[in-house]
């Protein structure tokens, strides 16, 4: 075997080794998704209580940790809307739901018998929705927004 061939073989071998080592490092450095196995059950419960319908303008299901906060501003064409909310989580967990900029929020229990709460709101052009989880978590929060048929 010629010396040039030997050098080429060594370089290719080292390059392959470097690619393999980089792949292993990348795989091991990826953050681990430590999920609570109860989250899937809570998500399914929330989605069954507030299923997708054609009348909805918007809907979303969120996973919140203890003391997490979620805010959204929905641009709408004005009128009366129904905002339905439900949450599912461990015993004693709650969220505070605010439908305005400066509201402190209405408490919503996430454990025990769950029934969606429905708020009727008149909207100019924007709807502000803010959800704050209490100290217990994680939990699942779901909301739907649809035009009031009345």
What is residue 60's predicted lDDT score, i.e. its pLDDT? 92
- Please state which of the four CATH numbers 3.30.450, 2.60.40, 1.10.357, 2.60.120 is assigned to the domain occupying 37-147: 2.60.120
pLDDT 10s digits, 43-58: 999 999 999 988 888 8
**Separation CA 84–CA 91 (nearest Å):** 22
Q: For every residue of the chain, which 3-state class applies, written as one string?
A: CCHHHHHHHHHHHHHHHHHHHHHHHHHHHCCCCCCCCHHHHHHHHHHHHCCCCCCEEEEEEEEECCCCEEEEEEECCCEEEEEEEEEECCCCCEEEEECCCCCCCEEEECCCCCCCEEEEEEECCEEEEEEEECCCCCEEEEEEEEECCC
What is residue 144's predicted lDDT score, i.e. its pLDDT? 93
Calculate the average pLDDT of the chain. Answer: 86
**Percent over 90 (pLDDT), the chain:** 20
Domains in the chain: boundaries = 1-30, 37-147
Looking up tokens 């704050």 gives: 132
Is pTM beyond 0.85? Reply is no
What does the pLDDT average to over 71-82?
86
**Separation CA 40–CA 70 (nearest Å):** 20
What is residue 38's predicted lDDT score, i.e. its pLDDT? 86
């Amino acid at each position: 075997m010629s010396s040039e061939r030997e050098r080429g073989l060594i370089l290719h071998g080292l390059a392959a080794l470097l690619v393999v080592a980089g792949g292993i490092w990348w795989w091991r450095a990826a953050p681990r998704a430590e999920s609570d196995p109860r989250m899937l059950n809570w998500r399914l419960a929330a989605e069954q209580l507030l299923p997708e319908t054609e009348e909805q303008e918007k809907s979303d299901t969120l996973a919140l940790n203890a003391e997490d906060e979620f805010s959204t501003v929905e641009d709408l064409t004005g009128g009366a809307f129904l905002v339905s909310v439900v949450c599912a989580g461990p015993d004693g967990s709650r969220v505070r739901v605010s439908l305005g900029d400066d509201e402190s929020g209405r408490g919503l229990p996430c454990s025990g018998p769950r029934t969606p709460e429905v708020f009727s709101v008149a909207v100019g052009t924007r709807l502000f929705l803010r959800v704050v989880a209490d100290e217990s978590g994680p939990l699942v929060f779901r909301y739907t927004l649809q035009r009031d048929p009345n």
